[in-house]
Structure 1
Amino acid sequence: MSEITADRALKGIAAAIAKAKEIGSAHSIAIVDAGRNLVAFHRMDNALLASIEISQGKAYTSRSLNMKTGDVTQYVQPGGPFYAMETSHRTPMVVFGGGLPVEIGGKVVGAVGVAGGMIDQDVSVAEAALAAIAKG
């Protein structure tokens, strides 16, 4: 199957929660499909309220650009080719680590967005979700 089903998304959420607990942090986890529609979302107990929108923004951005959000940062800096791009869309883009595109069968079919911790924690939790989604 070459899409993010609800079942795959929930497996991703479960893996992300397990990783977050392992590293001792609380996150919000968002998973979107190819059309950037929210398929699954979870806010862990004590996750920052801001993490709700930020996680969804990371997933939206990653799918919109088919890039890791951490890789976008360099392009939106002053003097960069896409300076201020993150503020030029109706839906704000989030351009720091924690958003990862989901590829199944060599095709980008959605994205994961994680927020609530330090960037390296967000990325680690997102990677756990990504691995579980890829497994199916």
Structure 2
Amino acid sequence: MKHSTHQQDPSLQDRFGRSVAARLSESTTALPYDISERLRAARMQALGQRRAPQTATAPQVLNNGGAATLGFGDSEGSLWHRLAAIIPLLLLIAGLIAMNMLDDDFNAKELADIDAAILTDDLPPAAYTDAGFVQFLKSRLEQQAQ
């Protein structure tokens, strides 16, 4: 499996960036003054546009009377975290119930179509239960296949 640079360790990326910057800085001594000033201005502009690193609070494992529980990282908005966890579960349950109801409706319609076909056919329903009739249908299908 290939690993992209987005999945690498940030410290590894920082070390790589520092080594590239050091090599570029070494070669700037041989450049003319006007080019080195333009490069310095471009560096300052790039540093000004750099995003500040964001810190995220990690979940905490709390010990409550011998039972470990998982905290949400910060106490603010804990109700919102719980609601955000419950809403997808409720939507999943509602979707499963809807799928079950639609499947039941589909099966009922399918059975109704079969019943209607049997009742509107020229043959009486008792003919379908006759073993000789089943053999007759099989032999008729074999003759049509040839």
TM score, norm. by length of structure 2: 0.15
Q: Which has the higher strand share?
A: 1
Which of the two has higher C-alpha Rg? 2
| Structure with greater contact order relative to length (CA < 8 Å, sep ≥ 6) | 1
TM score, norm. by length of structure 1: 0.16
